[in-house]
């Protein structure tokens, strides 16, 4: 059993305002008394006894802590320290000041493809690193992606909440029953592992995926969500949503995607592939032309448009411009209310 510090956390940290809350407790700003440094404290209530349904089992907290301890990456929330008392465990983690990506998208109402590429690239880098360590997050969604600072022009992405994460052993079969219905695609398709050739992930007792390194259904979900403001699989009910995912039933509704570039759609389509071995891995995503090239191309297109050189463009430039049309604000996707309709979390 992992041992956490038994000191009273309040002796070492001043506990301040609530930053957010989850199923098992609150996240609060804390100030380290010795240095005046600000951190975030994740206060997790522990289950009192075997019969109790409230709180987390200590083993789950240990798992989250072990996983966080093994991850050091600029796009993943860093863990500093862990304290425990009879009733709770407190994780002292990096303070992330820019809020959730979910709220950032909602506030901006829509993202340009340039923004989306920039965020997605950072998410992919974090996920690719996780996968290289054989760790799957299993609950990636805009609520669990935060921004280091939203005031800066290019905020850094930070992946949080490793409460559902799992570190795969060689050849392990893992069954995850949690997650958020709209993002189960990510659970189905996300994980991992290069070396454990026989990994199987089951969802609702149905075997969905087998094979080696896995792709990132989640990024598609994100991606479509980032670009269109919608989950691609969203149904009227959770059952319908899950059925859409299992049947891989989705469409690029023209209403929401007429401004999206063909390269972006190609990227999404290459992720929404049932056959796991044919789906892009995180590393492959990072070298897809839309992620690799289009950032420059989209910026170039913007500059070209601004300089009103469109009419003088060569056929190639015209094609590029067509591919980059989506870099303009999509008034159709100003669906703050849709984004505001926070997805129910069943994790
Ligand atoms: P869930 O029940 O969704 O699994 P949880 O109890 O595991 O949640 P987190 O998702 O880790 O808790 O955090 C809850 C919220 O607190 C986040 O959505 C975010 O708004 C805020 N938060 C989490 N970590 C930080 C941080 N390091 N800095 C600032 N705010 C944070």
CATH of the domain at 51: 3.30.200.20
CB 170 within 8 A of CB 196: yes
Are 79 and 147 in a shared domain? no
Are 64 and 120 in a shared domain? no
Please list the pLDDT of the chain residue by residue as tens digits (347 residues): 667 999 999 999 999 999 999 888 999 999 999 999 999 999 999 998 777 878 899 999 999 999 999 999 999 999 999 999 989 999 999 999 999 988 887 787 667 888 888 898 999 999 999 989 999 898 888 889 999 988 887 789 999 999 999 998 877 777 665 555 545 444 333 332 222 222 233 322 222 332 222 333 343 344 444 555 566 677 788 788 777 777 777 777 777 777 788 888 898 888 888 777 888 888 899 999 989 875 566 556 555 655 644 444 455 444 544 444 444 433 333 333 333 334 434 34
Comparing CA positions, the residue from 191, 221, 207, 195 lying closest to residue 130 is 191
347 in contact with ligand 1, CB cutoff 6 A:
yes
Are 174 and 293 in a shared domain? yes
CB 89 within 8 A of CB 79: no
23 in contact with ligand 1, CB cutoff 6 A:
yes
Cα dist from 272 to 122, 177, 207, 258, whole Å: 20, 21, 17, 19
CB 107 within 8 A of CB 339: no
> Can you give the residue range of the structural domain that contains 299?
101-310+319-324
- Among 115, 139, 327, 330, the active-site one is 139
Rg (CA), the chain: 21
Residues paired with 44 in a beta bridge: 25, 89
CB 11 within 8 A of CB 3: no
CB 158 within 8 A of CB 40: no
- CATH of residue 141: 1.10.510.10
| Dist CA 22 CA 44 (whole Å) | 9
Burial class from Cβ neighbours inside 10 Å (0-12, 13-18, 19+) for residue 182 reads buried
Are 89 and 108 in a shared domain? no
Q: Return the ∠ at Cα 232 (arms to 228 and 236), rounded to 5°.
A: 110
In this structure, is residue 231 part of a structural domain?
A: yes
Atom in ligand 1 nearest the alpha carbon of residue 23: 2
Atom in ligand 1 nearest the alpha carbon of residue 96: 28
139 in catalytic set: yes
158 is in an annotated binding site: no
Are 63 and 46 in a shared domain? yes
The whole-model pTM stands at 0.76
Are 206 and 126 in a shared domain? yes
CB 321 within 8 A of CB 330: no
In this structure, is residue 207 part of a structural domain?
A: yes
Q: Which of 15, 27, 78 to mutate to test the pocket of ligand 1 (most atoms within 8 A of CB)?
A: 27
Total domains present in the chain: 2
94 in contact with ligand 1, CB cutoff 6 A:
yes
CB 305 within 8 A of CB 321: yes
Comparing CA positions, the residue from 341, 334, 344 lying closest to residue 107 is 334
Are 170 and 263 in a shared domain? yes
In this structure, is residue 131 part of a structural domain?
A: yes
Whether ipTM exceeds 0.85: yes
Are 62 and 196 in a shared domain? no
């Amino acid at each position: 059993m992992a041992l956490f510090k038994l000191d009273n956390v309040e002796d070492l940290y001043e506990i301040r305002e609530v930053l957010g809350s989850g199923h098992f407790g609150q996240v609060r700003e804390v100030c380290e008394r010795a240095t005046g440094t600000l951190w975030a404290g994740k206060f997790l209530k522990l289950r009192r006894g075997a019969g109790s349904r409230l709180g987390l089992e200590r083993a789950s907290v240990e798992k989250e802590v072990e996983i966080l301890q093994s991850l050091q990456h600029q796009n993943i929330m860093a863990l500093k320290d862990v304290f425990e008392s009879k009733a709770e465990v407190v994780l002292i983690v990096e303070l992330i000041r820019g809020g959730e990506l979910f709220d950032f998208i909602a506030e901006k109402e829509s993202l340009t493809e340039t923004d989306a590429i920039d965020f997605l690239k950072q998410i992919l880098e974090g996920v690719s690193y996780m996968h290289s360590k054989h760790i799957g997050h299993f609950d990636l969604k805009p609520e669990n992606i935060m921004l280091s600072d939203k005031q800066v022009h290019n905020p850094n992405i930070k992946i949080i909440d490793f409460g559902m994460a799992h570190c795969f052993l060689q050849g392990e079969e893992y069954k995850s029953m949690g997650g958020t219905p709209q993002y189960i695609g990510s659970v189905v398709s996300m994980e991992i592992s290069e070396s454990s050739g026989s990994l199987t992930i089951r969802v609702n007792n149905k075997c969905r995926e087998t094979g080696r390194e896995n792709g990132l259904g989640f990024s598609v979900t994100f991606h479509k969500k980032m670009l269109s403001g919608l989950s691609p699989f969203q149904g009227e009910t959770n059952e319908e949503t899950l059925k859409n995912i299992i049947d891989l039933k989705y469409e690029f509704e023209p209403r929401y995607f007429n401004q999206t570039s063909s390269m972006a759609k190609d990227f999404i389509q290459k992720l929404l592939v049932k056959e796991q071995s044919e789906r892009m891995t995180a590393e492959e995503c990072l070298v897809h032309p839309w992620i690799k090239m289009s950032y420059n191309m989209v910026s170039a297109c913007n500059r070209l448009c601004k300089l009103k050189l469109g009419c003088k463009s060569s056929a190639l430039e015209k094609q590029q411009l067509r591919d980059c049309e989506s870099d303009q604000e999509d008034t159709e996707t100003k669906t703050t209310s849709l984004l505001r309709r926070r997805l129910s979390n069943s994790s």
